[in-house]
Structure 1
Amino acid sequence: MVQTVRHFLLAIQFFTRIPVTGRLADWVGYSPAMLRASAAHFPGVGVVVGLLVAALTAVLLACLPPSPFTPLVAAVLGTVLSVMVTGGFHEDGLADVADGLGGSSDRERALVIMKDSRVGAFGVLAVVLALLAKVSLLALIGSESPPWMLLGIFAAHVVSRTWPLLLIRLMPHVGDAAGSKSKPLADQISTGSLVAAGIWCFVALAPVFAALVAMNIGVIGSGAWAALLPLAVALLASGLAFVYMGRLLWRRLQGFTGDGLGATQQVCEIAFYLGLALAI
């Protein structure tokens, strides 16, 4: 249990700007093996980020004047918080992948472009469009059902951080592993870590489903099945986005990079919101 807590805090330290410093950081410790083990807690990072963003969104929806634009303002400021909490870590990966794959059809050249710290036109376009997609979809969901907006934010952050683990499991790491942000993740993720990530995801989504049933906010009738439908459609859309990203990375790069993992998280999060909006 102590090691589990350490690995979780290391994941928080590595993938967010939440301070894990001083004596706490000394207690947590660090090694490449520990960071590799912390991959099991990526969905746990989503739990923390999702709770913070959903909480701020709930406060804004409750305190802002009633208006058709209220969900839009809440979606924008919630997205700002998510970027602040994570440091734009995954958005950066999306930008690098867009620059690399958009900038060259040659595999080796694309990998070189992705390692460049400068952001090109393709990267800027990808991040701007991704943020617009998130904000607009969340505003649309919030205008139809504020509870779905809040629960969807939380669930999307958890689910979208689970899918990239399958890329680590199914694909080889490509590129310059020695200089890569994902160097500790270059080895395949263990079965135990995947199981732990699945537990994180189930434990996080079960209360969401229970809340939907308790609030009776299904889109067709009432009861468990009515509440399950939008969640199932959102999960399906997110899963299809994962399949698309996996095929894209395999076809273009024959493997994954750290930037590819970040880009996959972003695309799967947006797809979750899209599926939820379509279902509602």
Structure 2
Amino acid sequence: MAEAETTIETPPPDWPGWGIATAICLRFWSRLPVPLLPGESDGHAIPDFREVPRALPFAALAIAAPAALVALGAGLAGLSGFVVAALALTALALTTGAFHEDGLADSADGLFGGHTPERRLEIMKDSRIGSYGALALGLSLLLRASLIAMILDRSGAWAAAAALLVAAPWSRAEGLFMLATQPAARSSGAAAAVGQPTVLTARIALGLSLFLATGIGLAVELPIAGLVIGFGLAHGAAAVLSRMARRLIGGQTGDILGAAQQLAEIAIYLGLALAIAWPGR
């Protein structure tokens, strides 16, 4: 009798896991061109988010890097704070394809424009923007631009660029934590298609975000109190949005996660601005 053949599967090496995970996060959260890495077979496949988003903080820094460079260059060139902030936010929107801004606008329209969970989800799926969405989008841009301009005017171009880098990983990790801890409001859509990350994955992303953001903040002497306040406000804003979404539509959607990122980003800039504005600094 012929001996039975056995197949031994070799586990993939550890290093490409982080590299591929970062590449997948870059493709999903931005429009940056990312080539296939060794071990990848399809760069356009729907990602499995159970463990991949642990690398989101690294991808977030790459996503925010063009905007930070624009802020630094324009600030050092002597342009006014508001112009610098507007240019930086333009670069950020081009890099992400206004991914999160779209989620904020759709969430505002749905959560405030419908009277039943079904109607709210229907509105959120509509590509047209309504009055609530336009208002939310306008206020988000105005608040972010004003706060970045204030940071630049009070602490300089390096601080403004660092603020963009500090906010990028933490604000996205807040949305990821919501994805890991809240049920999907609908059975289809981006949030449902990619799968639910483990809570451990979300905690790893939050931990890495905290480490990277704190390191960047200390490097350019951003106020530690501002980081603490900003992260606390961001977590609180995401928690309030999470409860609202759970009550009004039954859980999270991709649009809700985008809205969480926008609110968290505003909160981090606000925390930094408050600390910078304190008397005696």
Give yes or no for TM over 0.5.
Answer: yes
**1:130-141 alignment runs, 5 A limit:** 130-141=140-151
Alpha-carbon distance, 1:154 to partner: 1.0
Whether contact under 8 Å (2:100, 2:258) holds in the other structure is yes
Looking at structure 2, the residues matched to 268 and 7 of structure 1 have their Cα atoms a distance apart, in angstroms, of: 23
The answer to whether 1:29 aligns with 2:42 is yes
Indicate the structure with greater helix content: 1
The answer to whether 1:211 aligns with 2:225 is no
Cα distance change on mapping 1:28 and 1:82 into 2, 3 Å:
farther
Q: TM-score, normalised by structure 1?
A: 0.85
Alpha-carbon distance, 1:274 to partner: 1.3
The match for 1:86 among 87, 91, 96 is 96
Looking at structure 2, the residues matched to 210 and 75 of structure 1 have their Cα atoms a distance apart, in angstroms, of: 22
Per the alignment, residue 110 of structure 1 pairs with 120
Per the alignment, residue 254 of structure 2 pairs with 258
Per the alignment, residue 60 of structure 1 pairs with 74
Alpha-carbon distance, 1:25 to partner: 9.6
Per the alignment, residue 15 of structure 1 pairs with 29
Looking at structure 1, the residues matched to 273 and 90 of structure 2 have their Cα atoms a distance apart, in angstroms, of: 21
The residue type equivalent to 2:86 in the other structure is V
**1:86-235 alignment runs, 5 A limit:** 86-146=96-156, 147-175=158-186, 177-178=187-188, 180-187=189-196, 189-213=197-221, 227-235=223-231
Q: Count residues in correspondence.
A: 260
Q: Alpha-carbon deviations, 1:234-264, whole Å to 9, x = none?
A: 1122122112211211221221001000010
Alpha-carbon distance, 1:113 to partner: 0.8
Alpha-carbon distance, 1:193 to partner: 1.7
Whether contact under 8 Å (1:6, 1:28) holds in the other structure is no
Per the alignment, residue 223 of structure 1 pairs with none
Cα distance change on mapping 1:210 and 1:110 into 2, 3 Å:
same
Looking at structure 2, the residues matched to 122 and 209 of structure 1 have their Cα atoms a distance apart, in angstroms, of: 34
Looking at structure 1, the residues matched to 208 and 193 of structure 2 have their Cα atoms a distance apart, in angstroms, of: 21
Whether contact under 8 Å (1:100, 1:114) holds in the other structure is yes
The match for 1:274 among 251, 270, 280 is 270
Looking at structure 2, the residues matched to 94 and 206 of structure 1 have their Cα atoms a distance apart, in angstroms, of: 27
Larger radius of gyration between Structure 1 and Structure 2: 2
The residue type equivalent to 1:237 in the other structure is L
Looking at structure 1, the residues matched to 38 and 100 of structure 2 have their Cα atoms a distance apart, in angstroms, of: 23
Per the alignment, residue 7 of structure 2 pairs with none
Cα distance change on mapping 1:33 and 1:90 into 2, 3 Å:
closer
Consecutive unaligned residues of structure 1, counting only runs of 5 or more, are 218-226
Report the RMSD for the aligned CA atoms in angstroms: 2.1
Whether contact under 8 Å (2:230, 2:268) holds in the other structure is yes
Q: Alpha-carbon deviations, 1:113-150, whole Å to 9, x = none?
A: 11112222221221111111111111112111124322
Looking at structure 2, the residues matched to 77 and 52 of structure 1 have their Cα atoms a distance apart, in angstroms, of: 11
Q: Alpha-carbon deviations, 1:27-82, whole Å to 9, x = none?
A: 363544535433223322321122221111011111135xxxx1111100000000
Looking at structure 1, the residues matched to 152 and 161 of structure 2 have their Cα atoms a distance apart, in angstroms, of: 8
Consecutive unaligned residues of structure 2, counting only runs of 5 or more, are 1-14, 277-281
Whether contact under 8 Å (1:93, 1:259) holds in the other structure is yes
Per the alignment, residue 247 of structure 1 pairs with 243
Cα distance change on mapping 1:63 and 1:141 into 2, 3 Å:
same
Looking at structure 1, the residues matched to 203 and 42 of structure 2 have their Cα atoms a distance apart, in angstroms, of: 24
Looking at structure 2, the residues matched to 61 and 170 of structure 1 have their Cα atoms a distance apart, in angstroms, of: 40
Whether contact under 8 Å (2:26, 2:63) holds in the other structure is no
Looking at structure 1, the residues matched to 274 and 240 of structure 2 have their Cα atoms a distance apart, in angstroms, of: 19
